[in-house]
Amino acid sequence: GAGVSQSPRYKVAKRGQDVALRCDPISGHVSLFWYQQALGQGPEFLTYFQNEAQLDKSGLPSDRFFAERPEGSVSTLKIQRTQQEDSAVYLCASSLAVREQFFGPGTRLTVL
Amino acid sequence: DQQVKQNSPSLSVQEGRISILNCDYTNSMFDYFLWYKKYPAEGPTFLISISSIKDKNEDGRFTVFLNKSAKHLSLHIVPSQPGDSAVYFCAALRGGGSNYKLTFGKGTLLTVNP
């Protein structure tokens, strides 16, 4: 079956622009996660959904970051008023059992 | 404060030899450990895991060893193949209420030379 897909794969934004990153999880996976991976670092947890409920958003760096999963499937990570420090790869993962997370290819965001 | 540390940014080995990737952790609440493999422009792919109640888990050419007292784990790849060349991330999960939040190390770039 299809894995986790993310779009766009690459995004270049001017500082101050808003961006929206999409994640299509594996069909039937109730859990969905977003991670941020800065250059030379490991991925860092941003937020966790179980179905449509956002159970943990403790990793979101600021109130400019917002994630939603309104129908318990596709999720969108939105970043408002992007800044240079937001440049990173944003990874989405989904799972049936939370300890077995399957990652998508990521969206590389570059803020100029 | 890095709770999961991979102190070797890179490792180079000859095809057919053993690759040993190391990982240390500081948080004694971690009770499940995973290794992920990542190729360029792809997401991390799960490789192998180990629960803290075990000290070894083996899957084909891949073996993970856990030393709880030393808060250290290692991934052994035998024999190494050129296709194993990738970045390897060590990750950990806590028990209890936040048992979904993967904490990753910075990764080790493994190069297997033909």
| Residue A18, min C-alpha distance to chain B (Å) | 24
Residues 6+ apart with CB under 8 A from A3: A26, A102, A104
- pLDDT recorded at residue B95: 80
Q: Assess whether pLDDT exceeds 60 at residue B57.
A: yes
Residue among A41, A93, A99 whose CB faces B93 most closely: A99
Searching chain B, which residue's CA lies closest to the CA of residue A5?
Answer: B43
- pLDDT recorded at residue B80: 98
Which of A1-10, A54-63, B16-25 is least confident? A1-10
Q: What is the mean pLDDT of residues A55-73?
A: 96
- pLDDT recorded at residue A98: 74
d(CA B39, CA B67): 28
- pLDDT recorded at residue A61: 95
Block residue for tokens 């209890």? B96
Closest by Cα among A6, A38, A19 to A102: A6
Q: What is the mean pLDDT of residues B60-72?
A: 97
Average pLDDT, chain A: 95
Residue type, A92: C
Q: Assess whether pLDDT exceeds 90 at residue A100.
A: no
Residues 6+ apart with CB under 8 A from B8: B21, B22, B108
- pLDDT recorded at residue B1: 77
Residue among B4, B44, B100 whose CB faces A98 most closely: B100
Contact status, residue B4 vs residue B19, Cβ threshold 8 Å: no
B→A contacts (Cβ < 8 Å), by residue, are 4, 32, 34, 36, 41-46, 49, 89, 91, 93, 98-107
Helix (H, G, I), strand (E, B) or coil at B84: helix
Per-residue buried b or exposed e for B32-64, using 16+ beta carbons within 10 Å of the residue's own CB: bbbbbbbeeeebbebbbbbebeeeeeeeeebbb
Burial of A55 (0-12, 13-18, 19+ CB in 10 A): middle
Helix (H, G, I), strand (E, B) or coil at A101: coil
Question: Could you please report the per-residue DSSP string of A23-86?
Answer: EEPPTT--EEEEEEE-TTS--EEEEEEETTEEEE-TT--STTEEEE-TTSS-EEEEESS--GGG
Contact status, residue B38 vs residue A88, Cβ threshold 8 Å: no
